[in-house]
Chains A and B, each alone.
Chain A
Amino acid sequence: MKDKDKTYNFIKEEHIGKWVALSKDKKEVVGYSDSLKDLQQKVGKDAVYTRPLPTDTVFAF
């Protein structure tokens, strides 16, 4: 569990629920935005796009 937590420990509160662009090695956030389109135009294709889930919610997809 500790290792997993380390994986995304750079995700901050302000990133939750937004589109976040991670570096290709997924070691840092290179940008974030409410709009994927805006983020994509700013960051381009050399990123991994994600949406961090809030931790105060239990999800059942």
Chain B
Amino acid sequence: MNRALPLVAVLVLMLAPAARAGDEASDEARLGARLAPDVARQVAVLVQEARAAGLPTDPLVARAFEGASRGADAAGIVGGVRRQAGAQAAARGALGNGSQPDEIVAGASALLAGVPADSLARLRLARPGGSLVIPLVVLCDLVARGVPADAASVAVVTAARAGATDNVLLRIRERIHTGIENGGAPAGTTGEVVRQWLRVTAGHGRHGEGAGGESKRKTP
């Protein structure tokens, strides 16, 4: 068995470049099928750079397709992909090199929304062993609903630090939405909902599963 290990290692080393070349050619083919040749070339370069840097590349291809589907011009498509690539690199820097691809994508979205990079780092510290995908998605959503980025960051980081699970964060988000839809100021409503959850958590000695009411789930 041990004698086979060096052979396996050699096989992997020899096949890895072929697989990588396959990925690159596959992306180029996909881009070429949907985009003008010049745009496809520019996007392909950005995708190759991201791959070389170890960053997720599917979101870059997706941004290019999104731009094409929504009628953006060449500069808009390339600019959108470039912004996504830059944000992914910054998100990985803030979240740490061990971050999962989905965390990097969600972190990039948060940065593009105007969330400060140090908020991502604080979120990582608040949940050192857990996934940050849902906290980052909630953070982005709050900003998109009009909550100032700083206030949204403080709310999500505070809740995560206090042990809020993903489900709790989703319920907090729903309560904030309801409050805003009912005329509450986004920042004030956000702070109040989180403070209320913290009071319930402290009172019950647990993490307030009932603080936010029922949430609709789309996936099991």
Answer whether A and B are interacting partners: no
Chain B contact residues, CB within 8 Å of chain A:
none
Chain A contact residues, CB within 8 Å of chain B:
none
